[in-house]
């Protein structure tokens, strides 16, 4: 428990009306989670404005209100007016949780694709090196061996600082986390002093939120603009926007890449569905990861690990021992030498990378059948693009339902089909039921063929009209392989 004066230590331009010595029991941005003696932060979001719930929050027990707009006061309540509620809340959360974030070595990864893989592999690598680590990711949050379910790529700022406090209490020294563009834009990472930032790549995604690609780039860049001078920034030199991230960045700058001169360089010596033999800065390292896109992810992990250990740790052997990340290019063996690949690819670039990787590895005479859909209530402009990529690069394609949410799945599938060029139309089937689509792909496949099931990866549900129904691509594939023989 802290009083307001203690919580406002780092908040700039705060105007306090009421008792500064008021003891605060907890923090929240959701009036539904309020308890007595809580501080309620009225954040103006994209869907609702927290200022509209201030009276309700007070009725439910809030004794302090953090706000930015003109409001009516109620006697006995302390009010804190700030320029930016979300930014101030980050500083308040830092103090409420005893500056836990300042006592961890926190490395954030941002980019369109690769965030989960890079963050998870860094967590696993440093765990193998003997450190106690935390992980914040799309798949799950981890405190050493303890798994905490993940609901967002990056939690809200209060939950995030609370998670750091738990990590510190459990003896963690490092935390590796995904940093989404939404989190950056909404100040969900406010109050965090990052030890390092990693940029993977940037391609078409989230334009439903950011509206323009330029805004999306600016959101990613803002993360690097905020890095302190004693941090490191490592960026993908082969991405055309990699250098943009480093402009005006105060951190020490490094690059990684496969194509040209970079601080950390890599060549792929051998590659198949079992893994790759890589050469990094002149040293040969084996990995079970597959594909050029994963080579970039692996190199980012190597570079960050080298910088965090100041090149002193022997990282090559534990790097080679790292496994694949849940739902990222996971291979499932079937009968008749058939192989199913499950991947989270849900953007045009990610889908293209996965299919090109499969096409590079598969032998002559081996067909690729791709099962793919697009999520509902998300960026609609990528649907025809993903349809075009899948139909052009695969031998057969089945468009199916992903997480339709509140949209008509058939309308989503039709939008994907709209991107298919006329000469590829004969390759395409449309099967709304995802399990039936996967089953059809297996039945259509010949011995030795490859079936890509893309879009959901690690997810164990399918969201339809606000309800999450159990659905696990990997489980369904395994069951169908056994059933169909």
Q: Domains in the chain, please, with CATH?
A: 2-84 (3.40.1390.10), 100-320 (3.40.1190.10), 330-484 (3.90.190.20)
pLDDT 10s per residue in the chain (485 long)? 899 999 999 999 999 999 999 999 999 999 889 999 999 999 987 778 999 999 999 999 999 999 999 999 999 999 999 999 999 999 999 999 999 999 999 999 999 889 999 999 999 999 999 999 999 998 889 999 999 877 776 789 999 999 999 999 999 999 999 999 889 989 999 999 999 999 999 875 545 554 577 888 888 899 999 999 999 999 999 998 999 999 999 999 999 999 989 999 999 999 999 899 999 988 999 999 999 999 999 999 999 999 999 876 689 889 999 998 989 999 999 999 999 999 999 999 899 999 999 999 999 999 999 999 999 998 899 999 999 999 999 999 999 999 999 999 999 999 999 999 999 999 999 999 999 999 999 999 999 999 999 999 999 999 999 899 999 999 999 999 999 86
- 8 Å CB contact between 440 and 331: no
DSSP secondary structure, 56-123, as one string? HHHHTTEEEEEESS-----TT-EEEE-S-HHHHHHHHHHHHTTTGGGGSEEEEEESSSSHHHHHHHHH
d(CA 141, CA 127): 15
Q: Which of 463, 131, 118 is nearest to 299 (CA)?
A: 118
d(CA 98, CA 118): 29
3-state secondary structure of 428: strand
- 8 Å CB contact between 435 and 404: no
* Per-residue model confidence (pLDDT) at position 1: 86
d(CA 214, CA 202): 11
- Measured in residues, the chain has a length of 485
431: left (phi over 0), alpha (psi -120 to 50) or beta: beta
* Per-residue model confidence (pLDDT) at position 212: 78
* Per-residue model confidence (pLDDT) at position 210: 47
Q: How far apart are the first and last CA of the chain?
A: 61
Strands (E) located in 337-426 = 339-343, 368-372, 396-399
Confidence (pTM): 0.87
Q: Which of 153, 256, 242, 259 is nearest to 203 (CA)?
A: 242
d(CA 413, CA 383): 8
Question: CA 273, 350, 192: angle at the middle one, nearest 5?
Answer: 110
Q: Which of 127, 172, 183 is nearest to 150 (CA)?
A: 183
* Per-residue model confidence (pLDDT) at position 84: 95
3-state secondary structure of 161: helix
* Per-residue model confidence (pLDDT) at position 341: 96
* Per-residue model confidence (pLDDT) at position 181: 85
Question: CA 450, 279, 352: angle at the middle one, nearest 5?
Answer: 35
Q: For residue 322, how many C-alpha atoms fall within 13 Å in the half-sphere facing its CB?
A: 32
Q: Six-digit token pair at 86?
A: 């979300």
Contacts of 243 (CB under 8 A, 6+ apart): 235, 237
Indicate the burial class of 263 (C-beta count within 10 angstroms; 0-12, 13-18, 19 or more). middle
d(CA 348, CA 71): 45
- 8 Å CB contact between 305 and 198: no
């Amino acid at each position: 428990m802290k009083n307001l004066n203690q919580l406002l230590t780092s908040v700039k331009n705060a105007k306090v009306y009421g008792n500064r010595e008021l003891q605060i029991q907890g923090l929240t941005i959701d009036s539904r989670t309020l308890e007595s003696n809580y501080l309620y932060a009225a954040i103006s979001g994209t869907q609702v404005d927290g200022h509209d719930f201030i009276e309700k929050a007070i009725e439910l027990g809030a004794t302090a209100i953090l706000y930015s707009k003109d409001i009516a006061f109620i006697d006995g309540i302390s009010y804190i007016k700030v320029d930016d509620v979300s930014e101030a809340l980050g500083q308040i959360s830092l103090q409420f949780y005893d500056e836990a974030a300042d006592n961890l070595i926190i490395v954030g990864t941002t980019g369109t694709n690769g965030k989960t893989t890079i963050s998870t592999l860094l967590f696993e690598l440093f765990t193998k090196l003997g450190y106690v680590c935390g992980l914040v990711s799309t798949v799950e949050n981890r405190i050493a061996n303890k798994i905490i379910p993940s609901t967002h790529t990056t939690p809200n700022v209060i939950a995030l600082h609370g998670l750091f406090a738990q990590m510190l209490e459990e003896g963690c020294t490092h935390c590796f986390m995904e940093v989404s563009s939404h989190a950056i834009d909404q100040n969900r990472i406010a109050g965090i002093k990052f030890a390092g930032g990693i940029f993977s790549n940037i391609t078409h995604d989230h334009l439903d939120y950011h509206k323009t690609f330029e805004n999306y780039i600016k959101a990613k860049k803002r993360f690097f603009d905020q890095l302190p001078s004693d941090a490191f920034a490592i960026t993908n030199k082969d991405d055309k926007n990699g250098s943009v991230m480093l402009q005006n960045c105060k951190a020490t700058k490094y690059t990684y890449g496969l194509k040209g001169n970079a601080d950390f360089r890599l060549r792929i010596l051998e590659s198949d569905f079992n893994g790759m033999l890589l050469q990094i800065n002149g040293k040969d390292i084996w990995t079970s990861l597959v594909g050029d896109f994963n080579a970039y992810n692996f190199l980012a992990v190597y570079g960050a690990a080298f910088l965090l250990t100041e090149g002193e740790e022997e990282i090559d052997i534990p790097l080679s021992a790292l496994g694949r990340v849940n739902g990222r290019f996971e291979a499932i063996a079937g009968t008749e030498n058939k192989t199913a690949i499950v991947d989270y690819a849900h953007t045009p670039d990610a889908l293209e990378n996965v299919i090109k990787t499969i096409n590079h590895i598969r032998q002559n005479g081996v067909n690729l059948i791709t099962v793919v859909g697009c999520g509902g209530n998300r960026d609609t402009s990528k649907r025809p693009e993903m349809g075009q990529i899948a139909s052009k690069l695969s031998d057969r394609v089945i468009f199916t339902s992903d997480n339709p949410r509140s949209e008509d799945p058939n309308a989503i599938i039709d939008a994907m089909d709209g991107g298919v060029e006329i000469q590829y139309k004969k390759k395409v089937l449309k099967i709304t039921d995802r399990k039936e689509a996967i089953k059809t792909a297996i039945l259509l496949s010949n011995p030795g063929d490859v079936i890509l099931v893309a879009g959901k990866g690690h997810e164990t549900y399918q969201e339809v009209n606000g309800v999450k129904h159990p659905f696990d691509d990997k489980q369904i594939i395994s069951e169908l392989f056994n059933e169909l023989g």
